[in-house]
Structure 1
Amino acid sequence: MKNILVLVIPAILTACSAQNKKIENADPMEYANTITATELKEHLYIFASDEFEGRETGEPGQKKAAEYLKTEYKELELVSPIGGDDYFQEVPTSYFKRGNVKPTENVVAFLKGSEKPEEVLVISSHYDHVGIDEDGNIHNGADDDGSGTVGILEIAEAFVEASKDGYTPKRSILFLNVTGEEKGLIGSKFYTDEPIFPLENTVANLNIDMIGRIDPQHEGNDNYVYLIGSDKLSTELHHLSEAVNARYMNLDLDYTYNDENDPNRFYYRSDHYNFAKNNIPIIFYFNGTHADYHKPTDTPDKIEYEVLAKRAKLVFLTAWEIANRDERLVVDKAIDTTGK
C-alpha cells in the first residue's frame, strides 16, 4: 500500500499542476503553429467539395456541412453550449424574408474559461453558401466562406491543445458557425436576438469571412489581410490587434475597407455587424474580393493555404490576447447603425 501511495501522490500533484498553470507562462505561438496549411487543405477539400452541394441554406448540402462541423468539434472534445449532443442552434424560418427557406441551424461549440467563464469571446464565420445555379453548376464557396470556417476549426484545435497542456484561456470562447449569411446575415441576427450567452457578457467578436485568396490589389503580396471595424467601438481592441500582429505575425494590415467613405460598405455586410449593433467590439478579417467571388469557380484548388494559415494564426493570437487579458475590452465609441 505504501508503495502504491508513493506512485499515486506524485501523479496527482502532476495532474493538479497541469490544471493550474499560469497562462502568462504559455507561449501562444507554440499553439498558433498547430494551425497548418496541410490540415486547412484537408478540411477545405472536403468542406468545399461537390458532396456539400454549395451549402445552400436549409438544403441537404448545408446539413452535411453542419454535421461535418459537429463531428469535428466532438473529436476535439469541445462541448455544446446548448447541452448534451446538441451543437445546433435552430434558426426559425420566420427570420427569412425571401421565402421557401427550409429549416436551418447555426453550429456552436464551447470552451469554458478558467478564471472568468461568464465572459465570452465569440469567434465566427458563416458556413452557408449559394448552392447550385439554374444550369446545375455547384458553387463550392471555397473562399466564401469555406476558408473562414475551416480556419475556425484549426483555431479551435489550437485552443484545445493549449488547454490540454494546462493553459485554458481565462475567458470562455464560443466557436460560432452561422447559417444564412448569404440570405441577409440571418444566422448571426438570430444569435444576437436569442443569444446562448448574454450579450452583455460577450467581450468581443472576431469574424472571419474569406481569408484564403489574394485580391488583385495585392497581386504579388501574400503577407496582408484587410481589417475592418477594429477601431469602431473600442480603441483598446484596435491597439491590441496591432500589437499582437507586430509581435507575432507582421502581416500588412490593410484598412482600406475600414474607411467610412468606402463605397463597398463591407463593415455592414458580414456577420460581425449584428454584434457591433449590440455594442460588442468586433474585428472582421477579409482578403478582399476576386474574379471567382460568388461563382462556381470559387474552388479549393485556388486557395493559398500558407496564406490562409498565416491569417488564421493572427486571428488565434488576437483571440488569445483578448481571452487572457486582465480586464475586458472597454467600449469607448458610439455605435454607428446608419449603414444598414
Structure 2
Amino acid sequence: MKRVILCGAALAVALGACAQQNATAVKYAKYITVENAKKHLTVVASDEMEGRETGKPGADRAAKYLAGEYQKLGLLPANKGSYFLDVPLSVTSFSVNSMTVNGAKLTQGKDFSVLGGSGVKTINVQEVVFVGYGSEAELKDISVEGKAVLVITEPKPGAEAPARGAFNRVAVALMAKKAALVLGVGKVNPIIANNGRMTLKSATPRPIADRAPILMVSNTVADNLLKASGKNYEQLKAAPAVQTVKASVEAAYATTTTDAKAVDIVAMIPGSDPKLKEEVLVFSAHYDHIGMEPEGTPGDRINNGADDDGSGTVGILEIATAFMKAKKDGKGPRRTVLFLGNVGEEKGLLGSEYYSQNPVFPMANTITDLNIDMIGRRDPAHKDSPDYCYLIGSDKLSTTLHKISENANNTYTKLAVDYKYNDPKDPERIYYRSDHYNFAKHNVPIVFYFDGVHEDYHRVSDEVSKIDFPLLVKRTQLVFYTGWELANRDERPVVDVTNDMPANRN
C-alpha cells in the first residue's frame, strides 16, 4: 500500500509539472498576435521591397528590416557578431545580341524571343530545314547539322493542343542532331526578361557548354526564311513536308556569368542549460520572393509575396518575440534557438543549401528544423473546412519528433492536420520544395508547415489584404508549441526512421 501511495505521489508531481509547463507555454504563445503579425507583414510584403528577389535591392532592404527587428527584441547575432551570413552566388545569363535573316535585321521582342541556349558564338548558316511539326517520323532521317531548323509549334488542325513542353522536346531532339539554331514559329513575347540562372558560387566553375539557341519567331520572319521555296509559311503549314530551303541566317549569342551576393539572416537565443546549450533548434523561413514582372508588363508588376513567404517570415519573428518574453522572465529555452531567414529559396533553395554546407552551428548539434513556408491562406480544398495546416516530414526521420508534433497540436491548437503532401507518391513533391529539405538530407529531423497552393501563388495578387491573420497566428502558435517542447525537453529527438522519400528531388 505504501509503495502504491509513493507511486501515486510521484505521478501527481509529474502531472503537476507537466501542467505547469503547459501553462507556461500558453502564457508566452499569447505574445504571438494578429496585431504584430499584420504590422510586420505590411512592411515585409510592401511595394517598397519590390518582391524581395534574391540579389536585388528589395531583398536587401527586407533583410535589414528583419535583422533590425531581431535586434530590437534582444536576440544575438549568430555569425561572429553579425545577423547576416553572406551567400556567394553566380548568375549565368544567355542572350542573342544580334540576328539577321536574308540581310534583314531582327528585333528581339518584336521578331523573336529567346527560349534557351548557352555558349558564346557567331553563326552564319545558308540553309533552313523546315520540319513541319517535328514529329518522330519527320525528324527520323533528316540531316540538320550546322543548319537552322524551323518548326510549327501550334497543334495540328482538329487536334487537341500538344502537351506542355512538346516544342522543348522537339528542340532537344534537334540539338542532339547538332542543329545550329532551332526556330519555333509562334507568338513572340514582347516582354524581354532574362534574369539568368542563379546558383551557389563554386570555387571550380563548370565550363559553359555550347547549346544551340532556341528562339520563337514571328510568321513574318518565317515567311522570309522560306521565301526561296516559292511559298510562304501559311502555305507550307497547310501541307507540311520536310524540305531544305536556301536562306542566310546570321546570329551572335553569348553566355555571361557574374557574381552576386545575398544574405541569410541568423539571430539566436543562447541556451540556458549548461548541459544542453550546445544543441540547437532551428526555426526557418525564406524571406525572398520572385521580384517584379519585366518592364512593359501592364498593371501591377510587384509580386509582394505576402503568403509566400512573408507569412512564414513574420511567423518566426513572432515566435522569437514569444521566446524572448519568456527569457526576460527567467524562462529562456534550455537549448540554443536559431532563427534562420533563408534567401534564394525561390532560386532553388540556395540559402538553406549554403547554410547546410557552412552552418553557424554544427549540423550534428542541430536537433530539428521547424520550417514555415506559407501559412497565411487557405487552398481550394479547404475553403469551407475547419482551421487546418499541411504538415510534411515530421515522421520521415524521427518517431519522437512526430509524437511531439502531434501532441503539441492535440494539446494546444487542435488544427485539422492534413498529411496529403507527406505521401512519398504525391506528384507535387512538396517535401523537396522548401528549405527544410537541406536539413533533412543531412539527417536532421524536420517539420514543414504549409497552407497549400492557392490561386494567388506566385502572382502579383499575393497581397497582404488576402491574409487570414487569425489562422496565420494559430498556425504560428502550433510551431511555437512544438518548438517550446523541443527547446526544453531533456532528450533531443532520436533519429530512428529510414526515410521513405526518394533519395533526391530530381
Alignment TM-score, normalising by the size of structure 2 = 0.61
1:110 aligns with 2:268: yes
What corresponds to 1:338 in structure 2? 504
TM-superposed deviation, 1:220: 1.8
AA in 1 matched with 2:263? E
Question: Is the CA contact 2:306–2:463 (under 8 Å) kept in the aligned structure 1?
Answer: yes
Map residues 41-56 of structure 1 onto 2, 5 A cutoff.
41-56=38-53
Superposition map of 1:178-327 within 5 A:
178-327=342-491
CA distance in 1, matches of 2:439, 2:386: 29
Tell me, what secondary structure is at the counterpart of 1:27? helix
1:87 pairs with 2:253: no
Name the structure 1 match of 2:152. none
State whether residues 59 and 102 of structure 1, in contact with CA within 8 Å, keep that contact through their aligned partners in structure 2: no
Task: Indicate the structure with greater strand content.
Answer: 2
Q: Distance in 1 between matches of 2:363 and 2:36?
A: 33
What is the CA-CA distance between 1:93 and the residue it aligns to?
A: 1.1
Task: Say yes or no: does 1:175 pair with 2:339.
Answer: yes
Classify the secondary structure of the residue corresponding to 1:131. coil
Q: Which is further off, 23-32 or 225-234?
A: 23-32
The aligned amino acid for 1:35 is: I
Match of 1:122 among 276, 279, 282: 282
One-letter amino acid of the structure 1 residue matched with residue 335 of structure 2: R
Equivalent pairs counted in the alignment come to 317
2:199 is matched with 97
Distance 2:290 2:66 in 1: 18
Please give the secondary structure, in 2, of the residue aligned with 1:217.
helix
User: Is the Cα–Cα contact under 8 Å of residues 53 and 291 in structure 2 kept in the other structure?
Assistant: yes
Cα distance between partner residues in 2 of 1:108 and 1:285: 20
Deviations for 1:262-284, whole angstroms, at most 9, x for unmatched residues?
10000011000000000000000
Alignment CA distance shift 1:97-1:150 (3 Å): same
Of stretches 257-266 and 93-102 in structure 1, the one that deviates more from structure 2 is 93-102
Q: Name the CA distance, whole Å, in 2 between partners of 1:118 and 1:24.
A: 22
Name the CA distance, whole Å, in 2 between partners of 1:101 and 1:222.
47
Check conservation: 2:307, 2:374, Cα contact below 8 A.
Answer: yes
Q: Deviation at 1:338?
A: 3.4
Contact 1:121–1:174 (CA under 8 A) maintained in structure 2: yes
2:293 to 118, 121, 133: 133
Alpha carbons 2:393, 2:431 under 8 Å: kept: yes
Counterpart CA distance in 1 for 2:381 and 2:68 is 37
Shift of 1:24: 4.3
> What is the identity, as a one-letter code, of the residue corresponding to 1:266?
I
1:41 maps to a residue whose letter is K
Give, in angstroms, the shift of residue 170 of structure 1.
Answer: 0.8
Q: 1:97 Cα deviation (Å)?
A: 3.0
Please tell me whether the aligned partners of residues 386 and 416 of structure 2 are also in contact (alpha carbons under 8 angstroms).
no
Q: Tell me which of 17, 24, 27 is aligned to 2:24.
A: 27
> Retained in 2: the 8 A contact 1:230–1:283?
yes
Following TM superposition, by how much is the alpha carbon of 1:94 offset from its aligned partner in structure 2, in angstroms? 4.2
- Please give the alpha-carbon distance, in whole angstroms, between the structure 1 residues aligned to 2:374 and 2:32: 17
Amino acid at match of 2:283: I
Q: TM-score, normalised by structure 1?
A: 0.90
CA offset digits 1:250-272 (Å, max 9, x no partner): 00110001011110000011000
Matched, 1:59 2:56: yes
Farther off after superposition, 24-33 or 122-131: 24-33
Larger RCO (CA within 8 A; separation ≥ 6): 1
Shift of 1:83: 2.7
In structure 1, what residue type is equivalent to 2:291? G
| One-letter amino acid matched to 1:104 | A
Q: Name the CA distance, whole Å, in 2 between partners of 1:324 and 1:240.
A: 12
- The one-letter code of the counterpart of 1:170 is R
In structure 2, which of residues 309, 312, 322 is the aligned counterpart of residue 148 of structure 1? 312
**In 1, Cα distance between equivalents of 2:369 and 2:433:** 15
> Could you list the per-position Cα deviations for residues 138-193 of structure 1 after superposition, in whole angstroms to 9, with x for gaps in the alignment?
00000000000001110000000001111011111000000000000000000000
- What is the CA deviation profile of residues 111-152 of structure 1, one whole-angstrom value per residue up to 9, with x for unaligned ones? 001111100001000000000011260000000000000011
TM-superposed deviation, 1:56: 0.5
CA positional deviation for 1:25: 8.2
Tell me whether 330-339 or 134-143 shows the greater mean CA deviation: 330-339
RMSD: 1.5
1:81 Cα deviation (Å)? 1.1
One-letter amino acid of the counterpart of residue 176, structure 1 = L
Please tell me the residue identity of whatever aligns with 1:325: R
Question: SS of the residue aligned with 1:92?
Answer: strand
Larger radius of gyration: 2
Q: Which moved more, 1:214-223 or 1:96-105?
A: 96-105
Q: Which runs of 5+ in 2 are unaligned?
A: 1-19, 92-197, 201-256
SS at 1:121's partner residue?
A: strand
Q: Report the Cα offset of residue 82 of structure 1.
A: 1.3
User: What is the alpha-carbon distance in structure 1 between the residues aligned to residue 65 and residue 339 of structure 2?
Assistant: 14
Q: Deviations along 1:78-130, whole A, 9 cap, x unmatched?
A: 0011133x211000114943965631000110000111110000100000000
